């Protein structure tokens, strides 16, 4: 499963949601683990490109993959087993 963060707004004069699906950050969950990813699309018809923290294309496990697109304003609210992966750990410092 992918959780991909994107800028979300509303189309002018409508109640329709407008997603900026050009690029962003996110997480890939598989086999009980997760990894931070960066994603991009070069256009509406272009394939989704996902890279891992090392900058290399992500190897996705065989089978069905589900994608959740979430507002990037919610990125800091994700908690996995009660812990936010976006929050620094005791050994990390913000901006390091």
For position 77, what pLDDT does the model report?
A: 87
Mean pLDDT of the chain: 84
Closest by alpha carbon to 64, among 29, 40, 34? 29
- Other C-beta atoms lying within 10 Å of the C-beta of residue 27: 19
pLDDT at 30 over 80: yes
The span from the CA of 35 to the CA of 40, in Å, is: 16
pLDDT of residue 10 exceeding 60, the answer is yes
d(CA 2, CA 50): 10
pLDDT at 85: 77
Q: Is the pLDDT of residue 92 over 60?
A: no
**Greatest mean pLDDT range, 4-13, 76-85, 86-95:** 4-13
Please say if the pLDDT value at position 18 is more than 90.
Answer: no
Q: For the chain, give the number of residues.
A: 96
Per-residue pLDDT at 94 exceeds 70: no
What is the pTM assigned to this prediction?
Answer: 0.78
């Amino acid at each position: 499963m992918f959780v991909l963060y994107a800028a979300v707004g509303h189309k002018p004069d409508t109640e329709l949601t407008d997603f900026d699906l050009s690029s962003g950050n996110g997480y890939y969950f598989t086999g009980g683990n997760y990894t931070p990813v960066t994603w991009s699309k070069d256009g509406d018809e272009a394939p989704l490109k996902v890279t891992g923290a090392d900058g290399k294309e992500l190897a996705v496990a065989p089978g069905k993959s589900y994608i959740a697109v979430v507002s990037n304003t919610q990125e800091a609210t994700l908690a996995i087993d009660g812990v936010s992966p976006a929050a620094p750990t005791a050994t990390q410092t913000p901006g390091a």
